[in-house]
Structure 1
Amino acid sequence: MPGRQPLRRPLAQGRSSPRPGPLPSARRGSRHGTGPACGPCRAGSRAARHPFAAPAGIARPPPQLSLLARRDWSSNNDSERPAMQIGIIGAGNIGGNLTRRLTALGHKVSVANSRGPHTLTALAEETGATAVPVAEAARDAEIVVVAIPVKAVPDLPAGLLDAAADGVAVIDTGNYYPRERDGRIAEIEDEGITESRWTQRRLGHPVIKAFNGTYAQDLLDRGRPAGDPERIAVPVAGDDEEAKRKVRALIDELGFDTVDAGGLDDSWRQQPGTPVYGLRAGADGVTQALAEASPERAPEFRG
């Protein structure tokens, strides 16, 4: 395995983080019950892998939004900030909690999953989001979040983004788990393209990689105002600078700093098995973890 590689260019921190270094509490979440986006643990049951997975046969009530989770923590908090139309494809841990947070912040959210709108009635009633078929999720959306397993991306309907707003930003939260879920994908492993580059090719539209190493419960619990010493940071990678700006502003609104992790071909630095994956740290800590990443894929994340 090659040694740790230096960055090809400096990584830009989110401008809303004045901290001199990583949080004193910077750490990874427990592997059991707090895994990142679609984040299975290395071992354990399904219930252990997913933050809101209940034991078989037992229904778990939906997570309740705290008052903190209902706040707009944007560093440029503007009471006149217009609501955006946001489409979320996938209503699992990350998609469901983004639906909760973004509706609480006043955005108009359309949410879809592979099983149909009738299976999202409870989430829609809880949040005020509109449950729609997948083909309708991006209609008029300024931001679309794709929060589904990597293996399901090719099954998304053709022309999914045709009815989206001009300049729509597409967030890819996905992670490639060849052994546990997705099967082996030759383009990722043999050609060496990044996971999000593969997703972008399937969608035919630029994507911004974000939230792939974020713990789902953190979306509800860990948003903090700009400048708070406990504010954690999210790495964001992509080639479309305007879309990246829009995504970073949304993450700021949710209460998290951002670190510009470079273009989409640099997004291997935040894939599963890298130092930043699942890391809870401030912008400096995230920047350091990105710089320490190796391009060599860890054996447990190879097919």
Structure 2
Amino acid sequence: MKIGVIGAGFVGRAIAKLAIKNGHKVMLSNSRSVDSLFSLRPMIGCEIGTSEEAANFGDVVVLAIPMSSINSLPIKVLRDKQVIDAINYYPERDGYIDEFETQKTTTSEFTSQLLHTACIAKAFNAIRMTDLEQDGLPKSSANRRALPFSCDTEKGKKIVTQLYEEFGFDSVDAGPLSQSWKFERGRPCYCVRMNKEQLEQTLASTMR
């Protein structure tokens, strides 16, 4: 699978490294310049490019940018793409956004409205990247860590489940994008190590 990653910070680089380790081709991009990424090509083994080039490159495109940068996305290039939204909202970084503070919508529904023709899956946002790189275990390992995702399409669910499995994690379907608030920042399972049964129970009992 070819994966374009928009954002080359901790999140983008961690996902890129694990994807490459599992045989995928990856292009990393950021908002500065391709030159600022030159060391990542030999270090990680990825391609580098602009956000437009990464969006064109990927069969799947991962969004790994601050919420405050959401309007910089190449919307036209992301048309009809399968997108994995790993974005979290932090008001101290992104500024006050009324839609999230008043819980009128989820971060992924907001992204879906912006990229209205793209297929959005919310994933990789509820784990610290150091843990993502270190906590993966073979399938059927005892007490294997589980990660949540939300998506409205079967294709998107299959892609996220495949990547979680390859990276060494069980997956838990939290439902459609409208339910992705259950594992956003500040929720009981956010960045907390849980196995599949524990995560399923926590998601089911989480109140808005």
8 Å contact 1:116–1:133 — kept in the other structure? yes
- Which ranges in structure 2 are unaligned for 5 or more consecutive residues? none
- Matching residue of 1:118: 35
- Runs of 4+ residues over 2 Å off in structure 1: 186-191
Aligned to 1:7: none
Q: Is the 8 A contact 2:189 2:202 kept in 1?
A: yes
Normalised by the size of structure 2, how large is the TM-score? 0.94
Aligned length, in residue pairs: 207
8 Å Cα contact 2:145/2:170 also seen in 1: yes
Distance in 1 between residues matched to 2:38 and 2:163, nearest whole Å:
26
Q: 1:289 aligns with which of 166, 185, 202?
A: 202
Measure, in 2, the Cα distance between the counterparts of 1:273 and 1:127.
31
The residue type paired with residue 98 of structure 1 is I
Secondary structure in 2 aligned to 1:102? Answer: helix
For residue 145 of structure 2, what is the aligned residue in structure 1? 232
SS of equivalent residue, structure 2 residue 55: coil
Asked if structure 2 preserves the Cα contact closer than 8 Å seen for 1:89 and 1:144, the reply is yes
Give me the identity figure in percent: 39
TM-score (norm 1): 0.65
Based on CA coordinates, which of the two structures has the bigger radius of gyration? 1
| 1:145/1:170 contact within 8 Å kept | yes
User: What is aligned with 1:217?
Assistant: 130
Contact 1:89 1:134 in 2 (8 A): yes
- Cα 1:292–1:135 shift into 2, 3 Å: same
CA RMSD, aligned part only? 1.5
DSSP-derived class of the 1:280 partner: coil
CA contact (8 A) 2:81 2:119 kept: no
Deviation at 1:269, TM superposition (A): 0.5
Unaligned runs of 5+ in 1: 1-83, 296-303
Which of 160, 174, 198 is the equivalent residue of 2:87? 174
| Cα distance, 1:190 vs structure 2 | 4.3
Note the 1:1-303 alignment, pairs <5 A: 84-162=1-79, 168-178=81-91, 180-190=92-102, 192-204=104-116, 205-295=118-208
Cα deviation code 1:72-115 (max 9, x no counterpart): xxxxxxxxxxxx11001111111111111111222110110111
Of structures 1 and 2, the one scoring higher in RCO (CA 8 A, sep 6+) is: 1
